[in-house]
């Protein structure tokens, strides 16, 4: 894998460490951290600082009802958490979202495919497969979009993104990501609001594809 040059912003790592990052974005950050030693080290630093804050924060005694409820639940057997390892180009967090199964691809046209991982009021997260040289229709954003490259590469108005690179696109960016030559580009992409497509056809198909 080539050197990762586009990283998770520090504020987003802090939100992920505190558990306050929306689930679609948290999945992308988890996948990026699994690929990026630099961001993994930064995340560990945030987690350490969070632990220090908890240790030094003044504690409050729980109510009798809360204490009894928590103690009662300690006797309940916890279901085992499945552990998913990297498979091919898909890191462990993505395999967990796939529940260990291969992606179920759905055609978006022109060779582009997607596999929805989740979609709810917090946003959506999907895998995208883009053939070499193919462009995603020109669009801007109603909110935030995170795109993590898992295979191949893409380029847009902001630069070049290879395996492990994370693009953070806000409402101020209009772009037309285009897959590089060589292997097809496979990305993990999360949004918290629908995209704003410039052309009529993508806008018409938007509700069908939930993008």
* Whether pLDDT at 8 is above 90: yes
Model confidence band, residue 129 (pLDDT cutoffs 50, 70, 90) = very high
> What is residue 193's predicted lDDT score, i.e. its pLDDT?
86
The domain locations on the chain are 1-78+86-211
> What is the value of pTM for the model shown?
0.82
* Whether pLDDT at 196 is above 90: no
DSSP secondary structure, 65-102, as one string:
HHHHHHHHHTTSPPPPPP----BTTB-HHHHHHTTTSP
CA 6 to chain centre: 14
Return the CATH architecture of domain 1-78+86-211: Sandwich (2.60)
Model confidence band, residue 58 (pLDDT cutoffs 50, 70, 90) = low
């Amino acid at each position: 894998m080539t050197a990762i040059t586009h990283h998770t912003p520090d504020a987003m790592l802090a939100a992920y460490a505190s558990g306050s990052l929306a689930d679609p974005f948290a999945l992308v950050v988890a996948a990026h951290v699994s690929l990026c030693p630099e961001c993994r080290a930064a995340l560990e630093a945030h987690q350490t600082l969070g632990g220090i804050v908890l240790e030094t924060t003044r504690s409050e005694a729980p109510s009798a009802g809360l204490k009894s409820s928590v103690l009662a639940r300690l006797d309940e057997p916890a279901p085992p958490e499945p552990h998913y390892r990297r498979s091919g180009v898909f890191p462990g967090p993505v395999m967990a979202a796939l529940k260990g199964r291969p992606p179920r691809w759905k055609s978006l046209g022109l060779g582009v495919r997607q596999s929805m991982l989740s979609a709810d009021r917090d946003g959506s997260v999907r895998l995208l497969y883009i053939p070499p040289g193919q462009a995603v229709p020109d669009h801007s954003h109603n909110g935030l979009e995170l795109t993590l490259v898992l295979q191949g590469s893409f380029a847009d108005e902001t630069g070049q993104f290879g395996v492990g690179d994370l693009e953070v696109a806000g409402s101020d960016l209009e772009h037309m990501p285009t897959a590089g030559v060589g292997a097809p580009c496979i990305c993990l992409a999360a949004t918290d609001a629908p995209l704003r497509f410039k052309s009529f056809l993508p806008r018409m198909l938007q509700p069908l594809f939930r993008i």
